[in-house]
Chain A
Amino acid sequence: MSAAPDHKPTFARLSLGDQLGRATPYLLIPALIVLGYFAIGAPTSWLTLTVSGLAMGMMIFIMASGLTLVFGLMDIINFGHGAFISLGAFMGISVLFWLSGWATAASLPLNIAAVLLAILAAMLLTGVVAWGFERVIVRPVYGSHLKQILITVGALIVLEELIHVIWGGQEIFLNRPPTLQGAVTFAGAALEKYRILAVVVGLAIFVALRLVLRRTKIGLIVRAGVQNDEMVEALGYRLKLVFIGVFIAGSALAGLGGVMWALYEQVITAGMGENMMILIFIVVIIGGLGSVEGAFIGALLVGLLQNYVAFLEPKIALVSNIGLMTAILLWRPQGMMPVVKGH
Chain B
Amino acid sequence: MPDPILRLTDVATDIAQYHILKGVGFEVPRGQVTMILGRNGVGKTTTMRTIMGLWRNKAGRIDFDGTDLSPLSAAERCRAGIGYVPEDMGIFTDLTVAENMTLAALSGPPDAARLDWLFTVFPPLKTFWSSSAGNLSGGQKQMLSIARAMVEERRLYLIDEPTKGLAPAIVSTMVGALRELKRQGASILLVEQNFAVARALGDRALVMDDGRVTWSGAMSELSTDTGLQERLMGLSLEAT
A residues near B (Cβ < 8 Å) are 1-15, 18, 217, 220-221, 223-224, 226-228, 230-239, 339-340, 342-343
Contacts and interface: CB of A to CB of B under 8 A. Distances in A.
A233 B73 contact: yes
Given A220-B95, A340-B93, A236 B106 contact: yes
B95 A234 contact: no
B169 A4 contact: yes
Contacts of A223: 92, 94-95, 99
Contacts of B88: 342-343
B132 A18 contact: yes
Which 6 pairs of residues, A with B, have the shortest CB-CB distance?
A: A231-B90, A236-B78, A7-B123, A1-B167, A233-B74, A3-B169
Given A13-B130, A233-B73, A233-B75, A2 B91 contact: no
Q: Is the interface of A mostly helix, strand, loop or mixed?
A: loop
Contacts of A226: 94
Given A4-B139, A224-B103, A234 B126 contact: no
A236 B78 CA distance: 5
A10 B124 CA distance: 11
Q: Which of B94, B119, B122, B169 has the most CB of A within 10 A?
A: B94
B103 A1 contact: no
Interface centre among B90, B124, B130 (most CB of A within 10 A): B90
Given A4-B139, A5-B127, A227-B95, 15 more contacts: A3-B169, A7-B119, A220-B95, A221-B103, A223-B94, A224-B92, A230-B54, A233-B74, A234-B52, A234-B86, A235-B104, A235-B106, A238-B73, A239-B75, A340-B134
Interface string B68-88: 000001110011000010101
18 contacts: A2-B167, A3-B170, A4-B124, A5-B124, A13-B130, A14-B131, A15-B135, A18-B135, A224-B103, A227-B94, A227-B95, A233-B53, A234-B75, A235-B75, A236-B78, A238-B75, A239-B75, A340-B94
Interface of B: 52-54, 73-75, 78-79, 84, 86, 88, 90-95, 99, 102-104, 106, 119-120, 122-124, 126-132, 134-135, 139-140, 143, 148, 167-170, 173
Nearest to B170: A4
Contacts of A7: 119-120, 123, 126-127
B54 A234 contact: yes
Contacts of A11: 127, 129-130
Nearest to A291: B94
Contacts of A234: 52, 54, 74-75, 78, 84, 86, 90
A236 B79 contact: yes
Nearest to A239: B75
B17 to A, nearest CB: 16
Most interface-central of A223, A339, A342, A343 (chain B CB within 10 A): A342
A175 B122 CA distance: 64
Given A224-B103, A342-B90, A9 B131 contact: no
B90 A228 contact: yes
Contact of B99 (A220, A233, A237, A342): A220
Contacts of B168: 1
Nearest to B145: A231
B88 to A, nearest CB: 7
A222 B84 CA distance: 20
A295 to B, nearest CB: 15
Contacts of A227: 92-95
A182 B181 CA distance: 69
A8 B129 CA distance: 11
B52 A342 contact: no
Contacts of B103: 217, 220-221, 224, 232, 235
Contacts of B90: 228, 230-231, 234, 342-343
A18 B99 CA distance: 18
Contacts of B131: 12-14
Contact of A233 (B54, B102, B106, B127): B54
A6 B119 CA distance: 11
Contacts of A1: 167-169
B232 to A, nearest CB: 30
A189 B119 CA distance: 59
Contacts of A15: 135
Nearest to A13: B130
Contacts of A18: 132, 135
A287 to B, nearest CB: 14
Nearest to A232: B103
A7 B119 CA distance: 8
Given A238-B75, A340-B93, A12 B169 contact: no
